[in-house]
Amino acid sequence: MSTTKHDSHSRTIGDKPLHPESLMMGYGYRPELSQGAIKPPLFLTSTFVFNTAEEGKAFFELAYGLRKEDPGEEMGLIYSRLNNPDLEILEDRLTLWDGAAAAAVFESGMAAISTTLLTFLTPGDVILFSEPVYGGTDYLLKHILPRFGIRPVGVLANGGAAAFERAVMDSAVRQHVHMIYIETPANPTNALVDIAACAELARRLSQPDKQVVLAVDNTFLGPLWQHPLQHGADIVIYSATKYIGGHSDLIAGVALGSKSLVNQIKGFRTILGTMASPMTGWMLLRSLETLKLRMTSQMKNARYVADFLADHPKIECVHYLGHLSPDSPEHALYRRQCVAPGSMISFELVGGEGEAFRFLNALQLFRLAVSLGGTESLAEHPASMTHSDVDPEERIEMGITANMVRLSIGVEHPEDLIADLEQALAAV
Ligand SMILES: *Cc1c(COP(=O)(O)O)cnc(C)c1O
């Protein structure tokens, strides 16, 4: 390779650091290893041929942590449950947005979440978590982890940092907490949880032989508009099905953090078999090239839509991060923690489920579907769809009402989105 060419592992030109969006097309990929192809080929292969038995032995020693790598030694390719070029290039690129040392890619967001929780929790542990969380996460915490002797303790996101402090006043909770798991902004209410305050609490509860790990589900704003590692989080988790994939054509997940924590997670991923397939990795590499364009366009569109909804007489209230009242504590937290308001909006119609359903059934451009973060705009009814599994009383406490509709704003023309909302509201 010519030394004057841009090295695929360089993040700078001279001493000028490059922005992540400039690195999404080539970083981590060496064309000379793939016949000069400008894009990484899809490596549909289950296993990799070793040059010698000694090489195979050396790769396995590293893969199973039997020895430390020699200076400059790179882990070789073994078997696609452990590693694969499409996943390795993708993981390198994903670290850039969050400023993480390492990343692990999974076949779903739930695979990222379940593998991470199983890595750090053991029987007798408590996991503190913010509520509401994604429906699947809620089920994992409340119905599956207790079967393994792990106790979930929920803390309402709208109770602020004080609610977390109250939860750990109980000594049985304080002594056994091994993880804090938060989702911010919360789905579907957009309630914010203070990442730095939770990080400080995790440090305070950690002991020399037990690190309390703070994991943040950053699906709603990340990886562009919120960077939890900068606020003290240990692990960042994504459903890459949403903004990172961005085209509603795949399911995937990511966990990011320090090398030592992510290596532990990867050890579990290898055994649980929750890694992403090469095809998923390849599609995500393609998606990453337009991530900033998509998220920026969606964010701008959402502002127009939220402004329209806020003024509409048939709408009781709008939950949108760009509309927080300037002197509220939520706004101060938003300014500390978030870069932009993103493109998730929920709102409450005047009325109940009947009004919400009439509105949803009248939409023409917005599609009636769960999921979010794709190029097309979506609408759904959290109480009867994404959050129908949550106990009805708890649902109300979390602020998920029968008249609530959640919107994910896409890249269409904002005037068309507003025209559709206007005609659907007229039908209510
Ligand atoms: C969708 C979602 C998940 C689950 O991800 P999958 O890719 O569907 O497994 C987890 N957290 C949040 C916030 C989500 O929106």
Q: Distance (Å, rounded) from C-alpha 422 to C-alpha 428?
A: 10
- Residue 2 has a pLDDT of 37
Q: How far away, in angstroms, is 371 Cα from ligand 1 center?
A: 8
**Domain 291-426 CATH class label:** alpha beta
Buried b (16+ CB within 10 A) or exposed e, 367-377: beeebbbbeeb
Cβ of 386 closer than 6 Å to ligand 1, yes or no, is: no
Counting ligand 1 atoms within 8 A of each CB, the residue from 241, 372, 408 with the most, and so the one to mutate, is 241
Q: How far away, in angstroms, is 32 Cα from ligand 1 center?
A: 37
pLDDT digits (tens, 9 = 90+) for 121-151: 999 999 999 998 998 999 999 999 999 999 9
Q: Distance (Å, rounded) from C-alpha 108 to C-alpha 276?
A: 8
Decide: 212 and 178 in contact? Cβ < 8 Å. yes
Cβ of 187 closer than 6 Å to ligand 1, yes or no, is: yes
Cβ of 253 closer than 6 Å to ligand 1, yes or no, is: yes
Q: Distance (Å, rounded) from C-alpha 407 to C-alpha 410?
A: 9
Q: Distance (Å, rounded) from C-alpha 90 to C-alpha 277?
A: 12
Residue whose Cα lies nearest atom 5 of ligand 1: it is 109
Which of the residues in the chain have pLDDT under 50? 1-4
Q: How many CB atoms lie within 10 A of CB 116?
A: 28
Q: Distance (Å, rounded) from C-alpha 284 to C-alpha 132?
A: 28
Nearby residues of 1 by Cβ (< 8 Å), 6 or more positions away: 30, 32
- Residue 1 has a pLDDT of 36
Which of 226, 224, 232 minimizes the C-alpha distance to 258?
A: 232
Cβ of 112 closer than 6 Å to ligand 1, yes or no, is: no
Nearby residues of 144 by Cβ (< 8 Å), 6 or more positions away: 114
Residue whose Cα lies nearest atom 1 of ligand 1: it is 239
Joined together, the tokens standing for residue 169 give 């006043």
pTM value is 0.95
Residue whose Cα lies nearest atom 7 of ligand 1: it is 109
User: What atom of ligand 1 comes closest to residue 133's alpha carbon?
Assistant: 13
- Residue 7 has a pLDDT of 65
Counting ligand 1 atoms within 8 A of each CB, the residue from 116, 129, 187, 406 with the most, and so the one to mutate, is 187
Cβ of 138 closer than 6 Å to ligand 1, yes or no, is: no
User: What atom of ligand 1 comes closest to residue 111's alpha carbon?
Assistant: 9
Cβ of 217 closer than 6 Å to ligand 1, yes or no, is: yes
Cβ of 110 closer than 6 Å to ligand 1, yes or no, is: yes
Q: Could you give the C-alpha distances from 117 to 54, 85, 269, 291, in angstroms and in order?
A: 36, 26, 11, 28
Domain ranges of the chain: 85-288, 291-426
- Residue 210 has a pLDDT of 93
- Residue 56 has a pLDDT of 94
Cβ of 269 closer than 6 Å to ligand 1, yes or no, is: no
Decide: 132 and 400 in contact? Cβ < 8 Å. yes
Strands 235-239 and 213-217: parallel
Cβ of 219 closer than 6 Å to ligand 1, yes or no, is: yes
Nearby residues of 268 by Cβ (< 8 Å), 6 or more positions away: 115, 118, 119
Cβ of 108 closer than 6 Å to ligand 1, yes or no, is: yes
- Residue 3 has a pLDDT of 39
Q: CATH number of 85-288: 3.40.640.10, 3.40.50.1100, 1.10.10.10, 3.30.450.40? A: 3.40.640.10
User: What atom of ligand 1 comes closest to residue 251's alpha carbon?
Assistant: 7
Q: How many CB atoms lie within 10 A of CB 164?
A: 23
